[in-house]
Amino acid sequence: MRQARDVIREECEVLKMTDKQIKEIMCRLHNDLKKGLSRADHDKATVKCWITYIQDLPNGKERGKFLALDLGGTNFRVLIINLGENHFDMQSKIYAIPKHIMTGTGIALFDHIAECLANFMKEHGVYEERLALGFTFSFPLKQLGLTKGVLQRWTKGFSCSGVVGEDVVQGLKDAIARRGDVQIDICAILNDTTGTLMSCAWKNHNCKIGLIVGTGSNACYVEKTANCELFDGEPEKEELLINTEWGAFGDDGSLDFVRTEFDREVDVTSINPGKQIQEKMISGMYLGELVRLALVKFTRMGLLFGGQGSDLLFEGGSFYTKYVSEIESDKPGDFTSCMEVLEELGLSHASDADMAAVRYVCECVSRRAAHLVSAGIATLLNKMNEPRVTVGIDGSVYRFHPHFHTLMCEKIAQLVRPGLQFDLMLSEDGSGRGAALVAAVACREAEQGS
């Protein structure tokens, strides 16, 4: 049986990136970040580096009651947050977005959200109050101001008509106005990456990078305003938050030298072929499928499961990313979770050698994802060149994968410039609390300015 194991290991070599390849990726990303920030190259840039118009991080003095709305996937959340001295009370409710609304009209989407907002305010006894709201909108957004953001394209299974190219804040304002029953001031629109940074910065003033490794992958960071050529506000503040939208890194072919047949297959069968190439190598929406495609190949080669697959194994999307985390959570030599997963997939005939191979494939795919993310974070740290930076991180892959944090710590340490120190901090509810904090900071600034 040794031979099958060796062949699988050889086949998985394509999922390993050498240090030389990683350095090349960092070099390419650094160039793409510079293009995104520059006025001359921005339109052609794949990594857009959108300006967020957020120039102030929380200072811990924010007070009051705020609403937050978090829209970034098949569910959305409404939150009410009460900020006091060194504490905050937060209550939230999750609402589903039915499939027909995800693929219907923009008006129907915003009406559905506005209805849920009104119901939430009734339930929490603030139906009569006028409240500020921070809106987390986790799709590629071109920001034109703190409360103006134009949707660039839908991702994550959404395709609502009449929203791409439009201001989503206006879409929500119009829906609230159509109801005419609640008073909500939308103070800011942001994405989940920005929210993650803001949420961590409330506790840790060194937090200057926000990272999401979940259904999607993205990062934002604090850049010197002087480097942001597209910023047309008042440059009185030296720093500005940049939303990189780095999931699109590689859309121009710059990652092709490390992509595999499995990556190409995932891309071709996705709803957005040719787009979000880096994200498809990193995020929770795709990691399980990458593993499944490798397992299918090895089964067809007769190297796994005695050449006998199952209907489920051969069905796209059947190997969830959570399976990867579960399988890698088993101690070495213990296959309890792996056995449960394979039984769910109709592969109860798997041997111990098969299970060891399945685990190995999972490890290769998740390690590569961690290394790609680490290359990105190290690129940002080197670009910022600050002595100590905390990276605020959220997302299901980082949160639930048993080794992702350790893999990232080890790799980033190898890749950052000597003397630069960093910490990785798990965000507590960036997209919810972070949105309320952006609204709170906006209100704080408005009060100071008035």
Report pLDDT digits (tens) over 229-255: 998 876 678 999 999 999 999 999 999
Least confident of 34-43, 113-122, 200-209: 200-209
Question: What's the pLDDT at 448?
Answer: 63
Residue 440 has pLDDT above 90, yes or no: no
Look over the chain and give the mean of its residue pLDDT values, rounded to a whole number: 93
Residue with structure tokens 């340490």? 413
Instruction: Tell me the domain boundaries of the chain.
Output: 1-50+204-428, 53-190
Confidence of residue 138 (pLDDT cuts 50, 70, 90): confident
From the candidates 148, 156, 173, 297, which is the catalytic residue? Answer: 156
How far is CA 168 from each of CA 136, 164, 277, 278, rounded to the nearest angstrom?
A: 11, 9, 25, 26
Distance CA 358, CA 294 (A): 9
Confidence of residue 141 (pLDDT cuts 50, 70, 90): confident
Mean pLDDT of 122-138: 93
Distance CA 43, CA 38 (A): 9
Annotated catalytic residue 251: no
Confidence of residue 450 (pLDDT cuts 50, 70, 90): very low
| Residue 329 burial (C-beta neighbours within 10 Å; 0-12, 13-18, 19+) | middle
Distance CA 424, CA 304 (A): 37
Residue 156 has pLDDT above 90, yes or no: no
Burial 71-81 (b: 16+ CB within 10 A, else e): bbbeebbbbbb
- Does the fold of domain 53-190 match that of domain 1-50+204-428? no
Fold exhibited by the domain 1-50+204-428: Hexokinase; domain 1 (3.40.367)
Question: What's the pLDDT at 182?
Answer: 94
Give the max Cα distance, the chain.
Answer: 75
Burial 413-447 (b: 16+ CB within 10 A, else e): eebbeeebebebbebbbbbbbbbbbbbbbbbbeee
Residue 175 has pLDDT above 80, yes or no: yes
How would you write the chain as a 3-class SS string?
Answer: CHHHHHHHHHHHHHHCCCHHHHHHHHHHHHHHHHHHHCCCCHHHCCCCCEECCCCCCCCCCCCEEEEEEEECCCEEEEEEEEEECCEEEEEEEEEECCHHHHCCEHHHHHHHHHHHHHHHHHHCCCCCCEEEEEEEECCCEEEEECCEEEECCCCCCCCCECCCCCEHHHHHHHHHHHHCCCEEEEEEEECHHHHHHHHHHHHCCCEEEEEEECCCEEEEEEEEHHHCCCCCCCCCCCEEEEECCHHHCCCCCCCHHHCCHHHHHHHHCCCCCCCCCCHHHHCCCCHHHHHHHHHHHHHHCCCCHHHCCCCCCCCCCCCCHHHHHHHHHCCCCCCHHHHHHHHHCCCCCCCHHHHHHHHHHHHHHHHHHHHHHHHHHHHHHHHHCCCEEEEEEECHHHHHCCCHHHHHHHHHHHHCCCCCEEEEEECCCHHHHHHHHHHHHHHHHHHHHC
Tell me what percent of the residues of the chain surpass a pLDDT of 70: 97
How would you write 197-251 as a 3-class SS string?
Answer: HHHHHHHCCCEEEEEEECCCEEEEEEEEHHHCCCCCCCCCCCEEEEECCHHHCCC
Query: Which CATH class for the 53-190 domain?
Result: alpha beta
From the candidates 192, 251, 354, 394, which is the catalytic residue? Answer: 192
> Could you read off the pLDDT of 41-79 as tens digits, one per residue?
999 999 999 999 888 888 877 888 999 999 988 789 999
Annotated catalytic residue 192: yes
Mean pLDDT of 156-180: 94
Confidence of residue 449 (pLDDT cuts 50, 70, 90): low
> Could you read off the pLDDT of 272-288 as tens digits, one per residue?
899 999 999 999 999 99
> Could you read off the pLDDT of 347-390 as tens digits, one per residue?
999 999 999 999 999 999 999 999 999 999 999 999 999 999 99
Q: What is the pTM of this model?
A: 0.90
Distance CA 168, CA 186 (A): 11
Question: What's the pLDDT at 197?
Answer: 94
Structure token pair of residue 66: 């705020």
